[in-house]
C-alpha cells in the first residue's frame, strides 16, 4: 500500500491548494480520492475548473503533514461513478438528509476525482 493510499484511507480530511489552502473531507475509492463540492456541501472554489491540484494528507495520529502530491482533477458523472459516490456518501458525517443525500448531490453538487500523478 502506498503512503498516499494509506494516508487517504486513515484520515477523513485533506488540504487542497486552491485560492488558499482548503480543508476538505473525502473518501478513497479504487485508486483515487473523491470529494464533493457545492450545493450546500464544502466550498472548494476553482477545483472543478482546474486540471490538477496540490493535495496534502495529514497523519491521523498527530495531525502533521504526511505527504503532499499533485493530483489530476476530474468532475465525474455521478451515475457512472455510483460506487464511488456511495462510498463518499457513507463517509459523509452529520448529513441532515442522509436518505436523500446522493439525489441532492446529483441535483446540486459536483463529485470530483483526484488521481495522484
pLDDT at 94: 78
Q: Does residue 20 fall inside a structural domain?
A: yes
What is the pairing mode between strands 13-17 and 52-58? antiparallel
Grid coordinates given for 114: 483526484
Q: Does residue 22 fall inside a structural domain?
A: yes
Residue in the structure block whose three cell numbers are 504526511: 66
pLDDT at 111: 97
Grid coordinates given for 92: 459523509
83 is in which domain, residue-wise? 3-92
Q: Does residue 42 fall inside a structural domain?
A: yes
**63-101 per-position pLDDT tens digit:** 778 899 999 999 999 999 999 999 999 988 877 777 789
Which residues 6+ apart lie within 8 Å of 2 measured at CB?
Answer: 116
For residues 60 and 81, the answer to whether their CB atoms sit within 8 Å is no
pLDDT reading at 117 higher than 70: yes
| Mean pLDDT calculated for residue range 39-62 | 92
**18-46 per-position pLDDT tens digit:** 999 999 999 999 999 999 999 889 999 99
Which residues 6+ apart lie within 8 Å of 16 measured at CB?
Answer: 22, 24, 35, 44, 47, 53, 54, 55, 56
CB burial of residue 51 (10 Å; 0-12, 13-18, 19+): exposed
Q: How far apart are CA 73 and CA 47, in angstroms?
A: 7
Q: Does residue 107 fall inside a structural domain?
A: no
Q: Minimal CA–CA distance to 39: which of 93, 90, 103, 87?
A: 103
Q: Does residue 108 fall inside a structural domain?
A: no
Q: Does residue 98 fall inside a structural domain?
A: no
pLDDT at 1: 65
What is the average pLDDT value for the chain, to the nearest integer? 92
| Mean pLDDT calculated for residue range 91-115 | 88
Q: Does residue 109 fall inside a structural domain?
A: no
Q: Does residue 97 fall inside a structural domain?
A: no
What's the domain count of the chain? 1
DSSP letter for 64, please.
-
Amino acid at each position: 500500500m502506498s503512503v498516499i493510499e494509506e494516508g487517504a484511507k486513515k484520515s477523513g480530511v485533506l488540504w487542497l491548494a486552491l485560492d488558499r489552502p482548503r480543508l476538505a473531507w473525502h473518501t478513497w475509492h479504487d485508486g483515487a480520492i473523491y470529494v464533493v463540492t457545492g450545493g450546500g456541501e464544502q466550498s472548494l472554489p476553482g477545483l472543478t475548473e482546474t486540471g490538477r491540484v496540490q493535495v496534502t494528507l495529514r497523519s491521523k495520529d498527530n495531525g502533521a503533514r504526511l505527504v503532499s502530491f499533485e493530483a489530476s482533477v476530474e468532475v465525474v458523472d455521478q451515475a457512472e461513478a455510483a460506487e464511488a459516490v456511495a462510498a463518499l456518501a457513507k463517509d459523509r458525517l452529520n448529513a441532515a438528509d442522509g436518505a436523500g443525500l446522493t439525489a441532492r448531490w446529483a441535483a446540486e453538487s459536483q463529485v470530483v476525482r483526484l488521481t495522484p500523478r
